[in-house]
Amino acid sequence: MPILFPEISDSIYVRIYSAGYLELGDWWTRTDLLRGFWRLYVNDDNGAVLKIGDQPFELPRRGLVLVPPHLQFQCELRRRVRQLFVYFDVLGWPPAAMQQVLPSPLQLEPDGLREQLARDLRGPLSQRRVLEPLLCSRVKSLVYLALSGLDAALGADKAALLRRVAGGQCEMLDVLRYVDEHLSEPLDNGQLAEVARLSESCFIRRFKEVIGQTPSRYVQERRVSRASAYLVSTDLSIDDVAERCGFANRYYFSRVFSQRMGLPPARYRSTRPLGPDLDPPTPVQNTTQTEANSATGT
């Protein structure tokens, strides 16, 4: 007979920023600037390399590779290669914890279902500039399948930490979603405590225990991440980006962004490192250069 679980939660909440299938060119060597995103790579052949310090990591032919956020590296291209890529985010998986779980790129073990889905996505992603809801759901399916393979690919200690992070994200999911939906507004601890249905002091303590950082630090990181997506995917002015992401003014935004991303907003934008000769898109329509708004979990 069917088993009804007493508690079922949508515990991993993925937001797609960019996806495509195309031939890599010189533009790809600048994508190391997009440090605020997770990346998923599936290359048709050898030739693309991520250089972490002095250590090269060659993206393998047909292998599925996950690259964690905020990893500093350089991109090198030794030959022309076609690549399926997805840039995405996982709500509530703080960079500090992810740096412990995944300090370097990870090639996942072969899996027929993931590999078949990656093959099936090549055609649709190469032909479309709009990430419709159904196509976005298929891209998300590939991301979820990749994340589900992390547990088996990590050692016991790192896998245990990953499970703790995912569990904490599940507990605070209402708060994390509220933050993402109200980044342009003031977000103080008292307000977030109400969403969590906890006292302010209990909320601050519990949030730090399960997410690994204070609520204010988390909110700031989310604002910087959203701003980085706007900077490379829209023509919004820097003042407008600051306002939409909840920064008091352009000068405060520039200071915080530079501290977190290593470049001031204007210089970060000047690269537009998401694809070759693409026109600036609108915030919700371009497959290869924008955040997909249909960011509900599955």
Residues 188 and 134 placed together within one structural domain of the fold: no
Q: How is residue 197 annotated by DSSP?
A: T
Residues 187 and 233 placed together within one structural domain of the fold: yes
| pLDDT, tens digit, 9 for 90 and up, residues 65-84 | 999 887 888 889 998 899 99
Residue 82 has which token pair?
């076609």
DSSP β-bridge partners for residue 43:
61, 83
| CATH number of the CATH domain containing 209 | 1.10.10.60
d(CA 94, CA 268): 22
CB 46 within 8 A of CB 61: yes
Q: How is residue 60 annotated by DSSP?
A: P
Residues 155 and 174 placed together within one structural domain of the fold: no
Residue type, 257: F
**For 125, how many CA atoms within 13 A lie in the half-sphere containing its CB?**
27
Q: Number of helices and strands (H, E) in the chain?
A: 12, 8
Percent of the chain exceeding pLDDT 90 equals 41
pLDDT at position 135 is: 93
Residues 39 and 128 placed together within one structural domain of the fold: yes
| pLDDT, tens digit, 9 for 90 and up, residues 189-221 | 999 999 999 999 999 999 988 887 899 999 998
d(CA 253, CA 249): 6
Percent of the chain exceeding pLDDT 70 equals 85
Asked whether residue 58 carries a pLDDT value surpassing 90, the answer given is: yes
Residue type, 20: G
In the block, residue with structure tokens 């995917």: 233
Asked whether residue 298 carries a pLDDT value surpassing 60, the answer given is: no
Asked whether residue 294 carries a pLDDT value surpassing 50, the answer given is: no
Residues 18 and 46 placed together within one structural domain of the fold: yes
CB 118 within 8 A of CB 84: yes
Residues 155 and 108 placed together within one structural domain of the fold: yes
pLDDT class of 5 with cuts at 50, 70, 90 = low
Residues 145 and 22 placed together within one structural domain of the fold: yes
Region of 183 on the Ramachandran plot (φ > 0 left; ψ -120 to 50 alpha; else beta) = alpha
CB 104 within 8 A of CB 50: no
Which has the minimum average pLDDT: 33-37, 96-100, 173-177, 223-227? 33-37
Which has the minimum average pLDDT: 124-128, 171-175, 256-260, 271-275? 271-275
Residues 35 and 140 placed together within one structural domain of the fold: yes
Q: What is the mean pLDDT of residues 32-53?
A: 86
pLDDT at position 2 is: 61
**For 43, how many CA atoms within 13 A lie in the half-sphere containing its CB?**
20
Whether residue 123 lies inside any domain: the answer is yes
- Give which of 118, 19, 23, 104 is closest to 63, Cα–Cα: 118
Residues 25 and 92 placed together within one structural domain of the fold: yes
**For 233, how many CA atoms within 13 A lie in the half-sphere containing its CB?**
24
pLDDT at position 237 is: 93
Residue 85 has which token pair?
């890529």
Residues 219 and 192 placed together within one structural domain of the fold: yes
Q: State the CB neighbour count (10 A cutoff) for residue 265.
A: 22
DSSP β-bridge partners for residue 21:
84
pLDDT class of 268 with cuts at 50, 70, 90 = confident
Number of structural domains the chain divides into? 2
Whether residue 151 lies inside any domain: the answer is yes
Whether the pTM exceeds 0.85: the reply is: no
pLDDT at position 271 is: 63
Residue 183 has which token pair?
């980044």
Residues 109 and 56 placed together within one structural domain of the fold: yes
d(CA 205, CA 168): 13
Give, for 198, the enclosing helix (H) or strand (E).
none
* Residue 180 lies in domain: 170-271
